[in-house]
Amino acid sequence: MRHRAMPRGPTGTRPRGPRRAVAAVQAFLVGSALGVPLLATPALAVPALAAPAGASSVAPAQGSQWYHAVLGLTQAQRISQGAGVVVAVIDGGVDADHPKLQGQVLPGAGVGPDAAPDGWRDDDPDGHGTAMAGLIAGRNDNGRPEVRGIAPAARILPVSTGAEADSAEVARGIHRAVDLGADVINLSLGAAGSATPDEREAVAYAFAHDVVVVASAGNVETGDHEINSPANIPGVVSVTGSTARGDFWQGSSLGSRAVIAAPAPGIRAPVPTRVSPDGLDTGAGTSNSAAIVSGVVALIRSARPDLDAPNVIERLIYTARDAGPPGRDVEFGFGIVDPAAALTRPVPVVGANPLLAAPTRWGLAGQPPADADRAGGGSDAAGAAGSGSGSGRGGEADSPAAASAVPPTADGRAAPAGGGATPPDAAASAAADPDRGGAAGAGPGQDHDGTAAVAAGGDGPATGGAAGHGSGHRGVARVALAWVGGLALAVWLGGLLGVGAHLLSARRTTTGRGPRGHS
């Protein structure tokens, strides 16, 4: 199975000449319509936030692209810039001499027969690996400041597969990235269909070594209407595309394994000068989306080195801005990535990768998506009708004891300890924050067997489930009482109607005996 890098150009090829200019103009017009800063514009003014200990002192950027403003990147980078985190980029290699990447690239590895042994050469025809590395950790003090990385203090570990890659090389690349110390692995590549056993084993190897694996969902233009591999491997952060207005990018693949969305079109990134004379290029694709999310993961891992990979992922998806149908859906997954929220909001602790549970929550009531069963998700009709995003959640816990006291629910999210009651402070925080997706504990949840469970903090029965409080006998008694009462009411109404009909008939008989009027 041959893997390909996600194309950056709008039609599957890199924009050249006038097309590159058109792409830049399109990005400018979109940003202008939204009122967000773009190229060479002042950064957003936000309150200064304390940076974590050990953060690198990278100079603040003086310009933004549309996605920087939409994501609130300026605020997030005042909290964390990814210092101390290593992000592996498994791709065609990285141009380590590019001004945007000087000093950012560690000695890596080559796993393909034509790959540079240290990964320090971009063999992809479009300079794809260099672009992804630049989106993750590009410098803002060399060249155009608006072309910069999400985590400019992080370091890139290039693992080159040469000009092309097959599944065996991708699997070996994941192993090499883990062995060389990667904290995050970015896979902006993929192939249609299911992952191979080698790829699944390699991803499991990464999970066992506390590595977060991020992969692009795929692009429709290449024929990938469903999420491709390795993004469709359970536990991988599968990234779809979003637009400047927060809509789903129609060029993105979708499916039940969608985890989170991030900006995809009209994004400018560094490329080798053999690709573009100015060393910059504008393109679209879920490759961009995956690289952006990998950068956000680097911000989290730098700011919160105490968190293991499962809790980094939980923080990423728990704080995502809900988009599309309420709750998790096949386009946005849990929502659009929100870097500042991921760094600041209270998030419950989980004991395992929240993405390893089968997807069971969908944005709309009814049957799950058509490919849910094939992907390992879905539930019966009763369970789907009662599914929602209202499982109760508590505040953040930092101790191992707290982690063991907060078991994950069926949808992979952590449920609060103590029978599911939502702490008042968590409920107030959720109610005051619409980005949290509603007040904690509001709405029915899902039990482990797919049936609806009582909502946290609720007093009545959840949809399709048993009574929330009291015994089953009490519920049966209530049903019987309601049935008897309904029967008695029906008998009473029937008698009343019968008496009325009798009186009306008698009146008609009496008046019919008098003289007939003129017709």
- Mean pLDDT, to the nearest integer, of 84-88? 98
pLDDT digits (tens, 9 = 90+) for 406-461: 333 334 343 333 333 333 333 333 333 333 333 333 333 333 333 333 233 333 33
pLDDT at residue 487, rounded to an integer: 72
Rounded to an integer, the average pLDDT of 135-163 is 95
* Alpha carbons 515 and 519: distance in angstroms, whole number: 12
Burial readout 359-394 (b: 16 or more C-beta within 10 A, e: otherwise): bbbbbeeeebbebbeebebbbeeebbbbbbbbbbbb
Helices (H) and strands (E) in the chain, counts: 14, 14
Asked if pLDDT for residue 465 goes beyond 70, the answer is: no
Q: What is the mean pLDDT of residues 289-313?
A: 98
> Residue 33 pLDDT more than 70?
no
Q: What residues have CB less than 8 Å from 162, skipping those under 6 apart?
A: 92, 93, 110, 112, 113, 114, 115, 123, 169
Of 375, 378, 443, 448, nearest to 410 by C-alpha is 448
pLDDT at 325: 92
Taking Cα atoms as reference points, which of 205, 101, 195, 114 lies closest to residue 157?
A: 101
Q: Residue 384 above 80 pLDDT?
A: no
Range 20-45 average pLDDT:
36
Is the pLDDT confidence value at 517 over 50? no
228/396: higher pLDDT? 228
- Mean pLDDT for the chain overall: 72
Contact (Cβ atoms closer than 8 angstroms) between residue 284 and residue 344: no
Q: Which positions are catalytic?
A: 91, 128, 287
Query: What residue spans define the domains of the chain?
Result: 2-344, 392-469, 475-504
**CATH number of the structural domain 2-344:** 3.40.50.200
| pLDDT tens by residue, 343-365 | 999 999 999 999 997 655 444 33
Q: What are phi and psi of 282, to 5 degrees?
A: -115, 130
Name 485's Cβ contacts closer than 8 Å, sequence gap at least 6: none
Task: Output the CA–CA distances (angstroms, integers) from residue 319 to 40, 69, 296, 348, 394, in the order listed.
Answer: 30, 18, 12, 11, 14
How far from 70 is each of 64, 102, 240, 473, CA to CA, in Å? 10, 27, 16, 54
